[in-house]
Structure 1
Amino acid sequence: MLNVSSGFRKTTEAHPTVAGSKLKNNILFVSSGIPSLDYVVGGGLPTGGIFGVEEDVLGSYGRVLTKYFIAEGVVSNHHLFIASADHSPEETVKELPQPCVNPSNDRTSSNVNNEMKIAWRYESLGKVESSFDYESNFGHHFDLSKHIDVETVKKCRITYCDLRKCKNSNEDKSKHVFRNDLYYNLITKIENTLSNKEYDRDSNNKSILRISIHALGSPMWFSVDCDEEPLDCNAYGKDLIKFLYCLRRLIQDKNAVAFVTIPSHLFDDDHLMNRLLYSIDNAVRIESFSGSNKETNPVYSEYHGLFHLTKLSAMHSLVPFVPSSLDLAFKLKRKKFVIEKLHLPPELQDSSEREQDDITAIPKTCGGFRKKDIEF
């Protein structure tokens, strides 16, 4: 008698992985260079997608994330395409952090052996963990205090695109969709780079291309063609949206991932920013405390800013990944950039009494009383 199984065996197509990548949901993922960032976005950056970073006001932390992304590509021997209209790409690679072993977890709670200064009934409760404890062999750790040597960078396959040196195209603008020649020049260079068969997903000799575009849509992009006829804001926003759509179409079937930083604080148009986020697969926003009232607020003294997840897409899955906490903050230490769960202190030790204890209650009747005179 035959034994017929009521179930079925799940078969998956074999996809050989590339160095510095992992297979998840039948798609290759690469590391951003920051383990905590890889965790909060679902285990890394998926190939065939665009990862957007809304920069902080000063743009300093956005550049740090970009350097991590490029440094991870150098160590993993991935191919790199670096473009910028604000800074020289050649100068950026000279400041890449150096890989290191997993640094010791120097958490702020150094006084582990000290007793908790709260009611005895809460001493038995477990401690609140701020870090995500994302431990895996995926990706590398880097030391921001040291830089990768020049010889190591020269061995990598890097395509530099300094948009400040790009000349206006002599081609009739009616033949392409962009009003701004910088977008047309950049998307053409990316298309020519992706024409290599090694970036195809069905290629036998696979390679991964990391595309880094810094400060997309900054005033340096807006200044082009000003000597002829200035660009209006409407055409400027259309160029941004068209560029992201074209970029997404070029890499969606390739072993390539785009890391794009956007100075969204310069856009005084919420509708435009929503359309830009619609064109991006995953996006985060950096809110720095520098120059704001939160910088001197003792509540946020342990952090340098807030880290917002503005968009998480479901690529090759039914639902997107959701981290254990959406209240995130970041620290820029001497050697590393860390994203942690935001935990506010239970009570500040600057004052011995609560502020509301000093408030005097003045009734409307004749017999007055003060709040501190009331006894229970």
Structure 2
Amino acid sequence: MAAADTCGAGTLSSRSVASEAGQGGTSSFQRKSKASGGPGGGPRLLSIAGTRPSVRNGQLLVSTGLPALDQLLGGGLAVGTLLLIEEDKYNIYSPLLFKYFMAEGIINGHTLLVASAKENPANILQELPAPLLDDNSKKELEDVHSAKTPEPDVNMKIAWRYQLQPKMEVGPVSSSRFGHYYDVSKRIPQELLQSSKWHGFFLPEHISPDLKGESCFLSCGYMRLLEFIQKSIYAEGFDGANPQKKQKNILRIGIQNLGSPLWGDDICCKENCDNNHRLTKFLYILRGLLRSSLSACIITMPAHLVQNKSITTRVRNLSDTVVGLESFIGSERETNPLYKDYHGLIHVRKIPRLNNLTCDESDVKDLAFKLKRKLFTIEHQL
């Protein structure tokens, strides 16, 4: 009898639990999903503005500012890697890729670090191209201007909707899209520059006059730059040791004309120079800083001026991604009818192998670029 009472009580309690679960719409017995962040859920992907994970290896990617180049590199530039741009002969088109990379960082709210030995970083930022309007803004603007004879009520609604909006030429671009297009004939709005965060390294300001005539000038210039980059990474928590107070962000590093005589390097002047390992040591340490931080770096280098080609090979090996530009100016191809619609060739010399043994190397090798009045485009040369 006692057993029956116990069994009945157990049945009653199970029914009450079932009824309570049915009334609440949820059960107390639920399986933990991976998205819940439980012990078995695995790590979550970082959600940072202007980034997306690679579909092949899950590596976090940022845009180079040129969607066509992103496609050639397997979706974008991986965070923690180094992109080397081998400058064209007259250094006309390589600065455009450099400025695209920096302008994309400003649009997405990334922190910039601009280093140069020739031009003040503040002047470089003033020359960044202006972003083009996104498709939604273009459509809304076309809808407004296409209404030839609107009714009074509709006209008042449109006026009320747009009267407080800034002009379309200087309005902020929607950063939800990965990769944007830019108008090289216009400059980036001052409102975007003033709201951005950036650090500038101008070599003449960091080298004292007493050291300019000494043999250690080369190493001093590179070491000062490494110290500046390391300080910026550690101070703002891009390495993770000092967590960022606000939302996680990306540090975009840009270095112009590295290895040129402007940096005090003599690899462009002598074939057998005494200090031919200083540039490779600099890149080795820099890549270590990139690997341990939320940062991405672009470097332009006059590879065509390097006298010793073995140095060029070592520099390419120390870079994760290598892209070379070949201009038609002053060459036989400038008058060749086959290349009449283009201004040069782009050579993808190296694609990174990240977290796998293969890379997204494109089968298309004949790639040409042309600079229109507003856009820099990369196309397949037929």
| TM-score tier (shorter) | 0.7 to 0.9
For the pair 1:18 / 2:60, whether they are aligned, the reply is: no
For structure 1, which segment, 28-37 or 323-332, has the greater mean C-alpha deviation from structure 2 after superposition? Answer: 323-332
Say if 1:235 and 1:74 are closer, same or farther in 2 by CA, change over 3 A.
farther
Residue 248 (1) aligns with residue 287 (2): yes
Alignment pair present for 1:286 and 2:316: no
Q: Name which of 257, 263, 270 aligns with 1:215.
A: 257
- 326, 337, 340: which one pairs with 1:298? 337
TM score, norm. by length of structure 1: 0.73
Tell whether 2:72 aligns with 1:40.
yes
Structure 1 residues 235 and 242, CA, compared in 2 at 3 Å: closer, same or farther? farther
Query: Which of 39, 54, 58 is the equivalent residue of 2:90?
Result: 58
Query: Is 1:155 matched up with 2:195?
Result: yes
Cα drift, residue 142 of structure 1 = 0.9
**Partner in structure 1 of residue 376 of structure 2:** 337
TM-score (normalizing by structure 2): 0.71
- For the 8 Å contact 2:259–2:265, the answer to whether it is kept is no
Give 1:167 deviation, angstroms: 1.6
**Distance 1:56-1:304 versus aligned 2 partners, 3 A rule:** same
Tell me, yes or no, if the aligned pair for 1:98 and 1:146 is still in contact at 8 Å. yes
Q: Which runs of 5+ in 1 are unaligned?
A: 1-9, 104-135, 172-176, 225-229, 344-376
Question: Relative to 1, partners in 2 of residues 1:160 and 1:277: Cα closer, same or farther, differing over 3 Å?
Answer: same
Residue 263, structure 1, aligned to residue 295, structure 2: no
1:179–1:221 Cα change, 3 Å: closer
| 1:135-284 paired onto structure 2 within 5 Å | 137-168=177-208, 180-196=219-235, 198-200=237-239, 203=243, 205-222=247-264, 234-284=273-323
Give the Cα separation in 2 of the matches to 1:178 and 1:220.
11
Shift of 1:181: 1.1
Q: State the SS of the aligned residue for 1:180.
A: helix
After superposing the two structures, state which structure 1 stretch, 304-313 or 233-242, moved more: 233-242
From 100, 108, 117, the equivalent of 1:85 is 117
Q: Which runs of 5+ in 2 are unaligned?
A: 1-39, 136-175
Give aligned-pair identity as a percent. 36
Instruction: Indicate the SS of the match to 2:97.
Output: helix
Other structure's SS at 1:199 match: coil
Matched, 1:97 2:120: no
1:122-141 to structure 2, matched below 5 A, reads 137-141=177-181
Deviations for 1:296-326, whole angstroms, at most 9, x for unmatched residues?
1111001100100111111122311112412
Aligned Cα RMSD in Å? 2.5
Point out the more displaced range, 13-22 or 256-265: 13-22
Instruction: Please state how far the C-alpha of 1:234 moved relative to its aligned partner.
Output: 2.9
Note the alpha carbon deviations across 1:93-144, whole angstroms, 9 max, x for none: 11111111369xxxxxxxxxxxxxxxxxxxxxxxxxxxxxxxx931111111
Q: Is the 8 A contact 1:17 1:23 kept in 2?
A: no
How far apart in 2 are the matches of 1:241 and 1:223?
Answer: 12
1:12 shift after superposition:
4.9
Aligned with residue 69 of structure 1, among 98, 101, 104: 101
Contact 1:178 1:242 in 2 (8 A): no
**Quick one: distance in 2 between partners of 1:274 and 1:17?**
36
Instruction: In structure 1, give the amino acid aligned to 2:184.
Output: L
Structure (1 or 2) with the larger CA radius of gyration? 2
